[in-house]
A = this chain, B = another copy of it.
C-alpha cells in the first residue's frame, strides 16, 4: 500500500527529541523509567488515580487503606453523634468519649458489613445513614480489594541484565554484547530485543543528540529458559564502527534496551527497559559462560555470574582496557 519508504535525513528521534542533553544525563534510568519531566499538564487528572494506586509501594498502599478506614469511621461516627443521643440503641451514654467510641465501632462494623453486635441504629435517619454506610462500605471495599489483588497479580517482567555491555570478538569482526535472563520462574515466550544507540553529534553548528536503531544478530528467541547474549555486529554500517573507548567517552553515548516478551503464567505481554552509558561499556572483553550441567544431565545457570567477563584482544583493534 505504501508507495515509498523515506530514509530520514533528519536525526531519528524515536520519540526522544533531538535537543542535546548534558554529558552525564541518562535518558532511560537503570530501573527502566524515563528521565523525563512533563510540564503543562492539567491540574486535575482523575485518570492518574488508578495508576498511582497500582504502582505505589506496598507499605504506602496499606497505610493509605488503613488511614482511609480510620477517616471514614471518624466521619460516620461524627454523623451518628450529630443525630442525637438515641440514634444508636444500646450505645453507651456515660460521657462523650464513650459515646463516640461506641459510634466509631458501630460504624466500623457497618462499613465492613460485619454486622451489629450490641448496638443497632434506631429511628429513620440513623437507620438510613447505616444503610447508606453499608452500601458505601461494600463499594469502597470492593475497590480496595480489587486494587489489592490487581497490584498482587500485575504482570511485571523481572529481566536480569548484565551490569556491563561488552565489545567482544564476533565472527571476524567485533560485536556489542550484553546478557539477559529471566529472574522469575515463569516462562518468557517470544522474547524480542530492540536496541537504540544514542550519541551527541554536531549538526549545522550545534550539538544535538542523535538516535540510531542497532541491527541485531537475532532479534527474537522463542523461549528464554536460560540466558541470551544479545549481539549487535559492529560492521561498516554500524554507528559504533571504528570507535575506540575514548570516542565513546566523548560522545556521551547511551545504549537503550527494550525487551518485549509474553509471560506464559500471566498470559500477558511484559516489557522491560534498561540502558548502558559509556562507563558501563567495556571494550575488549568476553562474557564467561554461566551454563553448567549436573551429573544427572540437568542444565544449571548461575545468574550471580551473569555480568562476569574476561579481557580479550579484539580483531584488528588495539582497544583493550584493564577490567575492574
Question: What residues of chain A have their CB less than 8 Å away from a CB belonging to chain B?
Answer: 1-4, 6, 8-10, 12-17, 19, 21-22, 24-25, 27, 33-42, 45, 47-48, 50-51, 54-55, 65-66, 69, 73, 89, 101, 105, 108-110, 112-118, 120-121, 124, 127-128, 130-131, 134-135, 137-139, 141-150, 152-156, 158, 171, 181, 183-187, 189-191, 194, 196, 213, 215, 217-218, 221-229, 233, 235, 237, 258, 260, 262, 264-271, 273, 289, 291-294, 297-306
Contacts and interface: CB of A to CB of B under 8 A. Distances in A.
Contacts of A269: 262, 267
B51 A302 contact: no
B40 A305 contact: yes
B265 A271 contact: no
Contacts of A300: 36-39
Contacts of A9: 171
Contacts of A33: 187
Contact of A35 (B14, B145, B262, B299): B299
Q: Which of A15, A145, A217 has the most CB of B within 10 A?
A: A15
Given A109-B131, A116-B117, A139-B148, 6 more contacts: A14-B223, A21-B293, A22-B293, A39-B300, A40-B301, A117-B121
Give this chain's copy count. Answer: 4
A131 B108 contact: yes
B223 A258 contact: yes
